[in-house]
Structure 1
Amino acid sequence: MEFFKKSQAVRLKSHLDKYLIADDDQISTRQSRRGAATKSGRWLVELVETNPHVIRLKSCYNRYLTASHEPFLLGMTGHKVLQTMPENPGKDLRIEWQPIRDGFQVKLKAFGGTFLRANGGTPPWRNSVTHDSPHTAATHDWVVWDVEGVEVPEDEAAADYFSMVSSLSSVSDEISGLEFGFGSPVSARSSLPRSASPSPRWLSMKKSPLISVPRTPAMDLFRNAKSVRLKSVHDKFLIAEENEESVTQDRNGSSKSAKWIVEIVENSDTIIRLKSCYGKYLTSSNRPFLLGMTGRKVLQTLPKRLDSSVEWEPIRENGAVKLKTRYGQFLRANGGLPPWRNSVTHDIPNRTVTQDWVCWEVHVVEILEAQSPTPPLAAAKEDSFASESSSPSTSRSSKSASFSGPEPESNDSLVSSPPKGSNGRLIYFHIADEHGDVDEGFEELSITFKGNEVKELARRLEAELGIDGLTVCTRSPLNGKLYPLRLQLPPNNTTMHVVVLPPASKVVS
């Protein structure tokens, strides 16, 4: 209830990653993925003076969200949720909703004891919104909503309404546009991701605007990555098959065959190569997948000379990433019946139904350590090491951008601190929930930080995330437990990996 008291308006996001919107007929309500980008997905919060435990929600058409008595389908228990304007709103209990916390989410309870429910399944249930009581465990999540606070411009037509609305504070629109999804590890689909809101849901309950965490360009997800996993719209991962030639999809993303080593193409800031665990490159071949069809096979190959067939351009698309070939096709995860099921091709999606098939979540598995320019002597030593080793190089040099396993201990001198006059050290951080759990499916975020004081670092992270009272922790390499940082940070601007705990966490004292 505290969150609604401090927000002018909210968006409600269902378990299907769709938003509650007010239809333009000014009567119906439904779910839509585009609710974050339209005013119809925004609901003004009105407090009830006679009952501090309930709220009213008003659509952009100045009509109230209403738990009606009209059945959604004859013979079914669910009833329609509509937009209405009662003659006497102060006495109409159908427009009052009681927010009830459920973990980091909220259930909205109507006067009769039913709950606002986002329905899934086939039409006519798909995208519909009703109020009902969940009778089975399978539909429990259907009545649970993520709440995203939004800021409403004062120059809108509804400005005169705001004088009646509690406006203790406002929450920026950026909270809903934030893509921690980067993804979903660092998930890029969030919008991080299908992943979910990519970030822990307590972030959506924060009190102040997110002021300086930018939207991450697609290439930035790969630039600091040693290896990644790619997750398709079908919730399956891009897999390098054991025959060391085929590429498919599989739900098991924990296998080594789901990990792809990132290479930045020399003299390019927009093109990457992806290498499988078998040392072969993800390749857009000219071989048709099926005769007479447009899609062509995506393979693992190791050409004698690296050409454009192994080059991919990451492009951001609505929170996800598309991988484009140099000839305009896209890496596509196919669905449907065999032989299409689990196959991977490159093609141009011509139908709306397959537009999402070229969208991928990017899960960063390993982070590339920041390095300073290598002195001539060290560079010669590095080249010698690379030439004598049979394994792929793990250091970025002027000749190669290939990354694989962990850095050799004897090569520590090559991973030096940033040169003097730099912007400081890189701090990578995961955001844990109140129990200290970290979703490893989401990428670490990062900031550049000058200084050695832990308190200064905590204040910087609080400013970045717009949340007060954060605790900065490190994870013990022995038992994996979290311990708060108390002393100064390591000297020489050493890159660090930390975990951020929310204010309500009692994991550490």
Structure 2
Amino acid sequence: MELFSKTKAIKLRGHNDKYLASDDDKQTIRQSRTRASRKTIWVVEPVEQNPKAIRLRNCHGRYLSASDLPFLLGVTGNRVIQDPPDKSSDWMVQWEPVREGFQVKLRSWCGTFLRANGGTPPWRNSVTHDEPHSSTTGKWILWDIEAVNLEPGTALADVAENRISSTEFNSNMDFFRNAKVVRLRSHNKKYLFADEDEESVTQSRNGSSENARWSVEFVKYSDSIIRLKSCYGKYLMASNQPFLLGMTGLKVLQTRPERLNSSLEWEPIKERSLVKLKTRYGNFLRGNGGVPPWRNSVTHDVPHRTATQEWILWDVDVVEIEIQSSVHKTLAHPEPEPDPDSSLELSSTSSSVSFESANPSRSESKNSGALNSPPKSEGRRIFYQIADDEGEDEDSERHSLNFNGKGVEELSRKLEEVTGIEDVIVCTRSPLNGKLYPLRLQLPPNNTTLKVVLVSKSSKLGIEFEKEGLI
């Protein structure tokens, strides 16, 4: 029922992109491609006697009704008609919404479903209630829901005034509550990445890039569905194009469609401290691993093997928040240490939320209130991780320390004392290609935090650095 709880009026779009419409004869129900017509608008009314059911009222003030009249003699499927207002208490005008992914089925009083028929006349554009008996007609009972804003003072707006609404959030939306911009990190510690061709979507270790940031949009008619927009202003889309011919898995693209549709909508599903993003087709956003062409690719699919179950799980880092509104509730959490990955960000994994600042001393000075003198500097904050023999650091724990010096050699000695590791190479990861390079000469100014990776000189990567003359 949450699909109907946040809007007073809707349009129902069938499998063939036609809308449920009521004819001017105040009797016939059919399908129409004319989206802008008032005949395709239905006001949603709750049923007091049956909380699971709704009534749908059209522009003529009549109700959508599942009659017991056959559509064609000798053929399954009964007529769907318009019933007058005095029939509002009848079971025939009550429909029970049944959620199926991003779509909905409407079950009638007799257990059949509202069906948008296809095929040749007289079936074409007709609407019946029936049970699908083949896989071909299984989609005919699925409907997309589009919210409608009614103009004040109209007849339909007056009818809708008594609607009951809800602003409570689905628990699966905790990851995105108050989120304005997020990063999504896959099972192999790479970020969902909008490629520069403004069409492809891949994975990248470069989490500091704008291409790894996705703006969050909430869908009006549901509190459990979102859209994600890339830095190019294009939506993350679950296309119907195969990634590789003959293989499961469909392409995920960036797109800017003429009108918003359900291929742009993702349903977050919480799993432990991670999230799965489900499409309207029942597939999941998947960060692929393995050898090329699978490596770093992103598809939507249903994992069929145990080895790929983790590929549809994502960490959510909240990069930017929305200011509190009447709909989005503020999350209150203590402020931890700053993180060097961005200059002013909000980071979140699981249910924890933290503010990040690239200049802690400036924040402290603002909080000092009456004290106008600047706080005493304790040096820069250094964040460090220890790389393995191959130079990978993503799985290692991040530590931090205060450092007052300016030179790399001095920092190296300090880190050797703290870690107990001899002959370390202090490296930084390039934002361009994600590779590690040794730091040389002086460090950046003291007013910036610094993230470094420690590599042992005796490691495989350390030996490569020495051969290339980098140390």
Taking structure 1 as the reference length, the TM-score comes to 0.40
Structure with greater strand percent: 2
Larger radius of gyration: 2
Taking structure 2 as the reference length, the TM-score comes to: 0.43
